[in-house]
Amino acid sequence: MAASKNFPSPPLAEQLFHELANTLDFDRFFFNAARAAGLAVGADYAGLVRCHGDPLRYEFFFALDPGHEDPPTPEVSRAGAGALARALALGETVYAPEDPPAAPASRLGLAAQLAVPMRVAGRVDGALVLAWRHRPRRPPTRRRLRLVEAMVAFMGNASYRSAVEAALTCDARRDPLTGLPNRCVLMDRLAHGCRRAARDDRLLVIALLDVDHFKGINDELGHEAGDHLLMTVAERLAHSVRLADTVSRYGGDEFVILMEDITHLEQIEAVIDRILLAVRQPIPLQGRTLSVTISAGLTIYPFDDQPPDVLLRHADQAMYEAKRAGGDRYHCFERTNTARLTERAQLRRDIETALSHELWAPRYQPILDREGHPAGVEARLCWERPDGTIVREEMASELSAGPARNDFLDRLLAATRRDCAAYGPPPVPLHINIHAADLYDRRLPSRLSDWRDEVYGTRDGILVVEVPDDALASDPQAGARLALALRARGLRLVADQFQGREGLAHIAATPLHGVKCRPAADATAARLLRAFAAGMTTLGLAVYVDGVDTIPRRMAADTLGWNYGQGLVYAPELDAPTMARWFKTAVASARLAPD
């Protein structure tokens, strides 16, 4: 009997049944209901199976007697002849005094099972499984079975209520059109984000975005097309941000993005650039292709140390500044300490405008040997702004979007070819710069070789290709592959911007012509650089110094044992006609750099 097995008497189970009506926590409710049902029939174990595909799985399976350890969870499946499989198939309560030997319960040493299907919204959604270690003397009475079935029905109703509440909670926190978090969730996350930013000494960016000219599109094509447009924009926004960021629909055609854990302004630019580019992509709509843009207003906490509602208002004000400037851009709230970010955004727009108007042109800076003779010349794209300041290729490459950045090498080669056709090729090796991504361009060596032959009219011209040292260090195999391919065509590879942070292992493993570095002002860095320069000399590499624009820099350079120097101390940057005249005056001492 149940009492002889130290189980509570049946009235305790009935008492638990009535107490379940006052249990509000769903997890606790299901556990207590299964326990009460097991106690009602004197079972040793209770478990709940839910129909989440096949194979099925137990939500829980535990021993009713606290003195016994919980057994291993049985494997379950819709197929088979066990009590559980039959109860799910028939939709009826099944008591099996003995499961077949192949049944999972039998393999665990369980002698008998009672399986009661659980219905949720009219369909079988699982089953309560009660099991015994030893076969009971007699099966559960009809009254006890009805009590267990009532408890399982109670569990089914609770499961339905749980699912409804979860759906309602989701609906209450999600925008019904886009599925994005709504304004309620946004305000909660914004408040928490401000607290985390203050605690962790990080930046929180609030970006409010508005679809440009949305009202006209909505009026012309109809609300259905407008909804499709908003859903597409929402999807592109969600795919453009980082995993930790929040994208919310603020209302109408406005969205808000929260960027947490920001440590550098460049992180903000990277996300905003991806967003602007993603939204610009064509959208198929009603048999036509639609191109849309967005305007974004940014404010940054704690630079803008205001409550959440004020932060959103400031972002909104900045967004309208972006719209007034023509849209398809972002603007920072002026009272925040983000002048640098705004200036960089303006400079990027200016750079891309100058590229589209072909305002970029090569500037040439001679490279001298230690005797002061011309030993090379570096060609770099530059743009002279209306205020007279010079924007160089490396700055433009950092700020410009992908397509414009990838176009710089093509522009440099084309413009240099024109200059050499007009004024003649330089009588010294010509240096050009490539980017990290160019390491993986298998066509680059043959392309540069053909360009060299075209510019010089012969394969005897010397072209030196400079690539950032950190790019070589990040993938030495790609660097070595490129160096060998260039060498096979009579071209040279130089590691540029060497600072010693990456060591010398990748330098020794790559068939380079030389290494270019900038003299360090810091004493410790200078000593390290001198040691590396000595190592390069041992490796038989040419040592270039650049950026030698002042006398102190020249003094620091002289300690490195350099072979070739570059900077304003040696020679200025020149345009093409001035470069041609400069070399003519120096022709008496001009000579090719040694191999």
Q: What is the pLDDT of residue 78?
A: 66
Query: CA–CA separation, 252 vs 214, rounded Å?
Result: 10
Please answer whether residues 576 and 364 qualify as being in contact, where contact means their C-beta atoms are separated by less than 8 angstroms: yes
Please answer whether residues 174 and 181 qualify as being in contact, where contact means their C-beta atoms are separated by less than 8 angstroms: yes
List Cβ neighbours of 345 (8 Å cut-off, separation of 6 or more).
Answer: 269, 329, 330, 331, 332
CATH of 355-585, one of 3.40.50.1380, 3.30.460.10, 3.20.20.450, 3.40.50.300: 3.20.20.450
Residues of the chain with CATH 3.30.450.40: 3-171
Q: Please compute, for residue 117, the number of CA atoms within 13 A of its CA located in the half-sphere on the CB side.
A: 19
- The one-letter code for the residue type at 421 is A
Residue 181: DSSP 8-state: B
CA triple 307-312-316, angle to 5 deg:
145
Q: What are phi and psi of 431, to 5 degrees?
A: -100, 135
With 0-12 CB in 10 A as exposed, 13-18 as middle and 19+ as buried, what is 134?
exposed
Q: What is the pLDDT of residue 466?
A: 93
With 0-12 CB in 10 A as exposed, 13-18 as middle and 19+ as buried, what is 502?
middle
Alpha helix (H) ranges present in 142-257?
142-173, 183-200, 214-221, 223-240
Q: What is the pLDDT of residue 16?
A: 59
Q: What is the pLDDT of residue 324?
A: 81
Give every residue of the chain whose pLDDT is below 70, as ranges.
1-26, 52-55, 75-81, 99-109, 163-172, 335-345, 394-406, 501-502, 587-595
Q: What is the pLDDT of residue 164?
A: 66
Buried b (16+ CB within 10 A) or exposed e, 309-344: eebbebbbbbbebbbeeebbbbbbbeebebeebbeb
Which CA distances in Å does 494 have to 149, 356, 560? 81, 31, 17
Please answer whether residues 358 and 370 qualify as being in contact, where contact means their C-beta atoms are separated by less than 8 angstroms: no
Query: CA–CA separation, 457 vs 28, rounded Å?
Result: 85
Q: Specify the pTM.
A: 0.49
Q: Are strands 94-96 and 283-285 parallel, antiparallel or unpaired?
A: unpaired
List Cβ neighbours of 267 (8 Å cut-off, separation of 6 or more).
Answer: 259
Query: CA–CA separation, 202 vs 55, rounded Å?
Result: 46
Query: CA–CA separation, 210 vs 320, rounded Å?
Result: 9
Residues of the chain with CATH 3.30.70.270: 183-337
Q: What is the pLDDT of residue 105?
A: 58
Please answer whether residues 33 and 151 qualify as being in contact, where contact means their C-beta atoms are separated by less than 8 angstroms: yes
Residue 517: DSSP 8-state: E
Residues of the chain with CATH 3.20.20.450: 355-585
Class of domain 3-171: alpha beta
Q: pLDDT tens-digit profile of 236-247? A: 999 999 888 999
Q: Topology of domain 183-337, per CATH?
A: Alpha-Beta Plaits (3.30.70)
